[in-house]
Amino acid sequence: MADDKTNMDAPGCFYCLNVKPFFRKAWSDATADHFRNARVEFLKGVRSVIDDRISNLARHEAKGTHVTVE
């Protein structure tokens, strides 16, 4: 939770009255860094899977014969 300190809390809202204040106190810059790094690592993993699949598909040559049409 970034520095979202605007007073847009709804009166009587459980989330606004309990969850948001908890995360404002518990969510330090170090915590945000850890979760940001985790998202980056997850995306790197997805990229690795895609790269492996592309490499696998590129390795296989097209089967069949080439025919020149006049």
* pLDDT attached to residue 58: 86
| Per-residue model confidence as pLDDT tens digits over 20-67 | 889 888 889 999 899 999 999 999 999 999 999 999 988 876 677 778
Q: Please state whether the predicted TM-score (pTM) of the whole model is above 0.85.
A: no
Q: What is the per-residue DSSP string for 5-69?
A: --S-PPTT-HIIIIIHHHHHHH--HHHHHHHHHHHHHHHHHHHHHHHHHHHHHHHSPPPS-----
Overall average pLDDT of the 4-11 stretch: 64
pLDDT value for 59: 85
Residue ranges per structural domain of the chain? 28-61
Give the integer Cα–Cα distance in Å for 46 and 13: 37
